[in-house]
Amino acid sequence: MFGENDMSIKKQLISVTTIAGLLIVVVTSAIAVIDSVHTTRQLFAELQQLRHGADDSRVQWGKLLLEQSSYAAYSRIEQLANQKLLMKTPATSEVVMVEQ
């Protein structure tokens, strides 16, 4: 009789130990999931900021290309030549053709 009682206590102890171990595993797993979700959200927020910065850079690049093309436009060059260098388009009578 005494031996059967010991077996019952051992089974209960094993059962309690198993439940405690499983509880520790579940809590650890839950903490890992929480940490993973938190990290994912932080990385996603950083990704969104980087994408926004890339979009801003693309817009700035487009503006710079437009500005560059306006500086090289023929009308702008002619205007600067007239204003700063006092150059003008010659009249037809002033044009001299050079032959080789």
In a domain, residue 74? The reply is yes
The reported pLDDT for the residue numbered 53 is 97
Q: Average of pLDDT values for 22-51?
A: 98
In a domain, residue 33? The reply is yes
In a domain, residue 99? The reply is no
In a domain, residue 100? The reply is no
3-state DSSP assignment of residue 90: coil
In a domain, residue 95? The reply is no
In a domain, residue 97? The reply is no
For 63-87, write each residue's pLDDT tens digit. Answer: 999 988 888 788 888 888 889 888 8
Cβ atoms of 60 and 68 within 8 Å: the answer is: no
The reported pLDDT for the residue numbered 1 is 47
For all residues of the chain together, what is the average pLDDT?
Answer: 90
The reported pLDDT for the residue numbered 89 is 85
Number of domains in the chain: 1
- The proportion of the chain whose per-residue pLDDT surpasses 70, expressed as a percent, equals 95
In a domain, residue 68? The reply is yes
CA–CA distance from 64 to each of 5, 55, 57 (Å)?
88, 14, 10
